[in-house]
Amino acid sequence: MSVLANVATMREMSTISLSEIAIKETRGKLAFGKEELSQAIADLRLHILPYTEKHAQSLFDLPLHHTDPFDRQIIAQALTEGIPVVTSDHSFTLYRGLKVIW
């Protein structure tokens, strides 16, 4: 059984990801509205992780392996909180100490 399929696994989603989904939907890059997003969060039993000053401050120390501002914020948040990131983006693996699941 995969870690994500395990019902005991805490699944967290960054508020940064919520913002990125909303922006991409507004620009027509996603056909995934607010209602669908809310339902998916409930269905997947996601805990929404707030983005804090501590997370933003850690951006100062983050190497520039990745230039996407949303991804950099997610990386900084995951490193600060010590939580893995689920992504197929290989650039995430360049950050020392970041556990990537995919």
Q: Which CATH class is domain 11-101?
A: alpha beta
What pairing do the DSSP bridges indicate for beta strands 100-101 and 46-49? unpaired
Question: What pLDDT digit, counting tens, does each position of 44-73 carry?
Answer: 899 999 999 999 999 999 999 989 999 999
Measure the N-to-C terminal CA separation of the chain; round to a whole number of Å. Answer: 14
pTM for this entry: 0.88
Question: What pLDDT digit, counting tens, does each position of 67-95 carry?
Answer: 999 999 999 999 999 999 999 999 999 99
Beta strands in the chain (DSSP E): 11-14, 46-49, 85-86, 100-101
